[in-house]
């Protein structure tokens, strides 16, 4: 997947669900318009640090992927209000669950 796909500044909703994506590209610049990103049902197991450039992102669906650890970069997304990371292979401690729940004020789906 080419990062140029996100260079279009006027996209607010983008879905890449069920595309067999195994890695997410580095994003070179801030995307200030993207509010909703659906990456459900792919083969992702990590997100790049440059994911923080989606600074306006409010809703992210990364359910049904291959994540084993919670992507720390998501804590840096100040506008992220809802997160679906259900149906992954997450191995979380009680402390990590508490921290995630506090950050997203309970608007996170972590079902297994």
Q: Whole-model pTM?
A: 0.88
Q: List the beta strands (DSSP E) in the chain.
A: 13-15, 36-38, 59-61, 82-84, 108-109
Helix residue ranges per DSSP H, 4-110: 94-103
Under DSSP, the state recorded for 99 is H
Nearest to 70 by CA among 107, 99, 50: 99
Return all residues near 99 (Cβ < 8 A) that are at least 6 apart: none
- Using DSSP, state whether 46 is helix, strand or coil: coil
Write out the chain's pLDDT in tens, 112 residues: 666 666 666 788 899 999 999 999 888 777 778 999 999 999 999 999 999 999 899 999 999 999 999 999 999 999 999 999 999 999 888 999 888 888 888 688 877 6
Residues above pLDDT 90, as percent of the chain:
56
C-alpha–C-alpha distance, residues 40 and 33, integer Å: 20
Under DSSP, the state recorded for 41 is S
C-alpha–C-alpha distance, residues 97 and 28, integer Å: 30
User: For the chain, which domains are there?
Assistant: 3-109 (3.80.10.10)
pLDDT tens column, 12-29: 889 999 999 999 988 877
């Amino acid at each position: 997947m080419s990062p140029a796909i996100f260079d279009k500044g006027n996209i607010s909703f983008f879905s890449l669900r069920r595309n067999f994506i195994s890695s997410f590209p580095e994003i070179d610049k801030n995307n200030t318009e993207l509010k909703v990103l659906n990456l459900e049902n792919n083969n992702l197991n990590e997100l790049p640090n440059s994911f923080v450039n989606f600074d306006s992102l409010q809703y992210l669906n990364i359910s049904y992927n291959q994540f084993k650890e919670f992507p720390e970069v998501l804590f840096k997304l100040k506008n992220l209000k809802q997160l679906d990371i259900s149906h992954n292979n997450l191995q979380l401690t009680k402390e990590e669950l508490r921290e995630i729940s506090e950050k997203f004020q309970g608007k996170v789906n972590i079902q297994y």
